[in-house]
Chains A and B, each alone.
Chain A
Amino acid sequence: MSTQEQQPEPETEPETEPETQESPADPEMSGLASPQQRRLQRKAANLAERERQAAEDESNLEEDTVHLKVFRFDPEVEDKQEPRFDDFHVPFERGMTVLDALIYARDEYDSSLTFRHSCRQAICGSDAFFVNGSQHLGCKTQISELEQPVRVEPLPHQEVVKDLVVDMEHFYEQMHAVEPYMQQEDLPEGELEEMRQSRENREKIKMSTRCIWCAACMSSCNIAAGDNQYLGPAAINKAYRFAMDEREDEEIKEHRLRIIEQEHGVWRCQTQFSCTEVCPKDIPLTEHIQELKREAVKKNLKFW
């Protein structure tokens, strides 16, 4: 397992340094409207604060252990039918993530500790958890940046199957509801002839194509919590990815807009930005929802 792999490295640089320059230099962000910039600035500021904190904590952490409090529930095991928190004390290693700590706890202390995980590199989207009160990918969240004890719970607003595993069926249904596939039937003539797409248009949809279906956004959304039929940020973002792709004809775009402007579609969003805050891929979800609202209005005006 990866946890056992980490060699003690004498020194490279403080591991908490990284993410600060996440975006200022990033041209893809500069084109975006200001709420996204403000959000990123806030993210950066929060991070800087956490880093100061972490730097203070780290010397203690080095020889110390990580205290995890992990949600436990199993519908068919007698002493787990009543949800509870188990404490695990895991030896801390530099660079340890929440996922690493969970794997250690499972492999060394309790083989029945259950959570989804696979790639360990924030691309499979399996391990979104509720960590210290907000949605995070376990593999992408450094223990050193968290206050202890680290509370790890399943994603809120989804039914718990067991321990940290939630039922994803509803999330998948919403993703499928927006007809998430290219519908362009009219393809260019000629052998090996691709559809053309401008660099600008590819750039336009780029962030939206990065979704890893982790469901952190859906779990963070108050509206989705109250309205089970609300499509939710991830599905609307998926619709955006196609609606904005110039390779699909205008009629298909209009068809897509009709899907997302239905009763439980884009108009439910109250722009609270919680989805955008928790997205591990930094997709400007709220922006995308807003833009689809504008597109829907434009379409409806056209038919007046």
Chain B
Amino acid sequence: MYEHDVIVVGAGGAGLRAAIAAHEAGADVAMVTKLHPVRSHTGAAEGGINAALREGDDWELHAYDTMKGSDYLGDAPAIETLAKDAPEDTITLEHWGMPFSREDDGTVSQRPFGGLSFPRTTYAGAETGHHLLHVLYEQVVKRGIQVYDEWFVMNLAVSDEPDPNDRTCHGVVAYDVQSGKIDGFKARNGVIIATGGPGQAFDHTTNAVSCTGDGQAIAYRAGVPLEDMEFVQFHPTTLPSTGVLISEGVRGEGGILYNEKGERFMFEHGYANNDGELASRDVVSRAELTEVNEGRGVEDEYVHLDMRHLGAERILDRLENILHLAEDFEGVDGLVEPMPVKPGQHYEMGGIETDENGKTCIDGLYAAGECACVSVHGANRLGGNALPELVVFGKRAGYHAAGKDLGEAEIETGYTSDVEEETDVDLPVTPGEAGLDPNPEAVATDGSGQALDAEDALERAVETERARTERLIEKDDGVKHADIRAKLQEAMTQNVNVFREEQGLKKALKAIRECRELYQDVYVQDPSRTFNTDLQMTYETRNLIDVAETITLGALVRNEFRGAHWRLENQERDDENWLKHTLISWNAGKPSIWYRPVILEGEDKTYEPKVRSY
């Protein structure tokens, strides 16, 4: 058993920043990550960090753009916190040595990005995330923060009160990938989940193979609601054959989208008469797919992104990485020909419900970064707003977990009996745990309703995972996780994509149910305890199933068109009925759906929902 004040799960941008903050606040902090920190998917972020740094810009403008971009589903206290903290936190990165692109006077450069009223995206070439990740890891090395790398967190150790709001998180159970050892990590103060998104629920995604929604799934099963999961961002410019991301920076610098007929369709077909290619991501993704669906796509599959007119010098200066990606992964030279692009899953706006200090409804459990939903991004995240979210809310969660006073949060968390519940949804199958077994997945609960003390909770969680692992490895025959994962990805990509309709969503729920049933027969073929990725991926696949189900349930109940979520049956934003967050609680295997109103009241003003046009 290991013991620290604060345990950070995941070592991408949010996790590293949280660990640094907790350390600064005097805590004994350790990171537990299934990868080595520098392998984390923050490194693939390209575009930049939005922060109001310059004359003519201010945090209120950043907050306004973000609220509008969110299609009025972001919570004002979260958005305003992001916009206010981002400048200082960005400059802190500079002080830590981040190699930002520079102006002639030596100050950091900023560029225009979609949905922004001011060019406030601070960047380091088209590889901002890589530099951010490495700079943060350097600071972790400098501080001597303990990193348990290649330890896969299997579950949380949480006490077992019936009401999740009364529960306490005491630590995590993790699996040392190199040795196969399963052990407990006790957290005296708190556990911070920073495990990134669930992109692998889809098969055409910019996300890494490691992005399997682990943190969301374990928090969900421990009783924390997942919020607004139906809002999945499909990035408009990914390479068709691999899903590799082509940064929005290309359009920010002036790149143009053309259909097969050579029409600049964003303008010529009226998708965004003012902002064109720099409209918000959801708008551009739908435009591209509409072009393809109406027969104007290249090869009936994609459109062209052309940056040749920017000139080699500017491209090499600001977008060089894009040339390499297009060459290596699509065989296209961006200097001499347009690049083929199509929408691909990119970002999960929803996630673990937290307040603006990163806290969940379970005492001692925090979340930050893509896995969390504060909510800053609402129905659609603006380009350049993910990286500031990592540093701003990673830092806050780290401080808070270490005991620093950040003031009372304005955002409420956790289910209470006075919330609006969804009672009228027609589900084709029962969601949730298949064949509810006597070993509940989530909490170390024995149903007695008695609070377990920290040691007992941890010990029991460790025993549960050891037994499960043993079962999986000892089982000689059955279904492979890879087959289940492939089935899940196909169902999600077919039915829970950019354009959604009721029948398709129901089909997806049925397929997810089938995946759950297949999973009851899953087995791990590799008998080894050494670096058993077969075992790890089997755990990950289970996490993906739970998270994919929440995405689909949310998409089915939300019968309106808002931000990234489009519904055939109701192609209008419905503010009268839907200015509210969708929350899904696991309830020990019997999910329920409920709602909480969006907070549009900011510090000094109320954001009035307006028609979102670009």
A interface, CB within 8 angstroms of B? 1-2, 4-7, 9-10, 12-19, 21-22, 25-28, 74-77, 94-95, 106-108, 110-112, 114, 116-126, 140, 161-163, 165, 168, 172, 176, 179-182, 184, 187, 191-199, 202, 205-206, 209-210, 212-213, 242, 245, 247
Contacts and interface: CB of A to CB of B under 8 A. Distances in A.
Given A5-B204, A76-B530, A121-B44, A21 B101 contact: no
Contact of B38 (A18, A182, A206, A212): A212
B362 to A, nearest CB: 29
Which 8 A-B residue pairings sit nearest by Cβ, starting from the closest? A182-B97, A196-B106, A112-B526, A181-B138, A107-B482, A111-B525, A181-B142, A15-B331
Given A182-B96, A192-B88, A212-B43, 12 more contacts: A5-B204, A6-B241, A21-B335, A22-B327, A119-B44, A124-B43, A162-B531, A165-B531, A184-B97, A194-B95, A197-B106, A199-B103
Given A28-B316, A197-B106, A213 B91 contact: no
Contact of A196 (B41, B105, B178, B485): B105
B312 interface: yes
A122 B329 CA distance: 10
Given A118-B35, A123-B44, A124-B39, A196 B299 contact: no
A12 to B, nearest CB: 7
Contacts of A172: 36
Contacts of A165: 531
B528 A112 contact: yes
Contacts of A17: 331, 333
A235 B179 CA distance: 27
A193 B87 CA distance: 10
A193 to B, nearest CB: 7
Nearest to A179: B142
A95 B99 contact: no
A181 B316 contact: no
B208 A120 contact: yes
A7 B301 contact: yes
Residues of A contacting B: mostly: loop
Identify the interface centre among A111, A117, A180, A193: most chain B CB within 10 Å of its CB: A111
Contact of B243 (A5, A111, A193, A247): A5
Contacts of B533: 114
B417 interface: no
A14 B35 CA distance: 36
Interface in B52-106: 53, 87-88, 91, 94-97, 99-106
Contacts of A19: 327-328
Interface string B233-272: 0000000111111000000000000000000000000000
B486 A4 contact: yes
Contacts of A5: 203-204, 241-243
B408 to A, nearest CB: 26
Nearest to B103: A199
B131 interface: yes
Contact of A124 (B208, B299, B333, B480): B208
Contacts of A13: 331-332
A111 B99 contact: no
Identify the interface centre among B107, B245, B329: most chain A CB within 10 Å of its CB: B329
A111 B534 contact: yes
A111 B524 contact: yes
Contacts of A122: 324, 328
B130 interface: yes
B125 interface: yes
B41 A119 contact: yes
A193 B88 CA distance: 9
A210 B127 contact: yes
Contacts of B127: 123, 210
16 contacts: A2-B203, A4-B486, A6-B241, A7-B240, A10-B299, A27-B316, A106-B482, A120-B208, A121-B44, A161-B531, A194-B91, A194-B95, A194-B107, A197-B102, A202-B102, A212-B43
A9 B340 CA distance: 12
B434 interface: no
Interface string B527-558: 11111111000000000000000000000000
Contacts of B527: 77, 112
Given A74-B528, A118-B35, A123-B44, A198 B203 contact: no
Interface in B478-513: 480-482, 485-486, 489
B209 interface: yes
A111 B479 CA distance: 11
Given A120-B209, A123-B130, A18 B204 contact: no
A202 B209 contact: no
Contact of A209 (B41, B96, B131): B131
Contacts of A116: 39
Identify the interface centre among B107, B245, B530: most chain A CB within 10 Å of its CB: B530
B526 A111 contact: yes
Contact of B41 (A77, A118, A179, A192): A118
Contact of A206 (B43, B99, B301): B99
B141 A176 contact: yes
B518 interface: no
Contacts of A16: 331
B108 interface: yes
Contacts of B333: 17-18, 21
Given A111-B480, A119-B43, A124-B44, A1 B486 contact: yes
B325 interface: yes
Contacts of A212: 38, 43, 130
A198 B103 CA distance: 8
Contacts of B102: 197-199, 202
A72 B155 CA distance: 31
Contacts of B91: 192-194
Contacts of B608: none
B99 A118 contact: no
B138 A182 contact: yes
B334 to A, nearest CB: 10
B210 interface: yes
A29 to B, nearest CB: 10
Contacts of B525: 110-112
Interface string B309-322: 00011001000100
Contacts of A191: 88
Nearest to B142: A181
B184 to A, nearest CB: 23
Contacts of B332: 12-13, 18
A252 to B, nearest CB: 11
Contacts of A106: 482
B139 interface: yes
A181 to B, nearest CB: 4
A210 B316 CA distance: 15
Identify the interface centre among A15, A112, A179: most chain B CB within 10 Å of its CB: A112
